[in-house]
Copies of this chain bind each other. A is one copy, B any other.
Amino acid sequence: MERNQQEEVRALQDTIYVLGGKWKLPIINSICNGNNRFREIERSIPGITTRMLSRELKDMEMNHLIKRTADKDAAVQVLYESTDYCKSFGPIIMEMIKWGKEHRKMITGK
């Protein structure tokens, strides 16, 4: 139980490190929801600026969370896609959405 607890804090802190900040989870969620154009993702996340989206996308591409495709000849030149690795955050996001919904229900008074 001692050893176990230490392992769990570490795991928790690792996850927080990877998902840190205001934007990574909403971006992942947006892309997984089918938004794959830059402006599309931007519009789908209230409050985010072009700059933050640009930076986070680059960061997440470097860490293989997403895949960026640029094809000059294609109808859609730039494409963002989620990787399998990215999809592994699904359960976390689901739980957070669930919490957020219930929380709002509570403070709104149902």
Measured CB to CB, the closest approach of chain B to A71, in angstroms, equals 26
CB of A11 within 8 A of chain B? Answer: yes
Cα separation A88 to B10 with both chains bound (whole Å): 21
- Which residues in B have their C-beta under 8 angstroms from that of A96? 11-12, 15-16, 92
Cα separation A104 to B11 with both chains bound (whole Å): 8
Contact across chains for B7 and A46 when beta carbons are under 8 A apart? no
Cα separation A21 to B73 with both chains bound (whole Å): 43
Measured CB to CB, the closest approach of chain B to A34, in angstroms, equals 9
CB of A77 within 8 A of chain B? Answer: no
CB of A44 within 8 A of chain B? Answer: yes
Q: Name A25's contact: one of B16, B44, B104 (CB within 8 Å).
A: B16
Measured CB to CB, the closest approach of chain B to A108, in angstroms, equals 11
